[in-house]
Amino acid sequence: MKHIHTFESFLNESSQDEIVFSIDDDKLDTLLNSRFSRSLDFKEIQGDSYYVLSKREFDRFIDLADSSGFDVDYENSEDAVIDVIE
């Protein structure tokens, strides 16, 4: 028997594909908004506003920022200008 995905399960899967993050650099913030404005969304968490991108677009943004000289090693660096919310 084949499992049929419901629309609700599709929406739940797509929300797991989102990266919620903040940026602590004005130039990088400008780069994000100029290059990814079409796919960029926002989320309010405890009164603070955060950016939301799909995993694919977030990876593209990180690659662009890294090649532009920004410290975007958000997993291993205390000085990174990107903070991913988990």
Tens-digit pLDDT profile for residues 6-58: 545 444 444 568 999 999 999 999 999 999 999 999 999 888 899 999 999 99
pLDDT at 35: 96
Distance CA 48, CA 33 (A): 18
**Residue 53: its pLDDT value, please?**
96
d(CA 20, CA 58): 9
Q: Tell whether pTM > 0.95.
A: no
The predicted model gives 64-78 an average pLDDT of 85
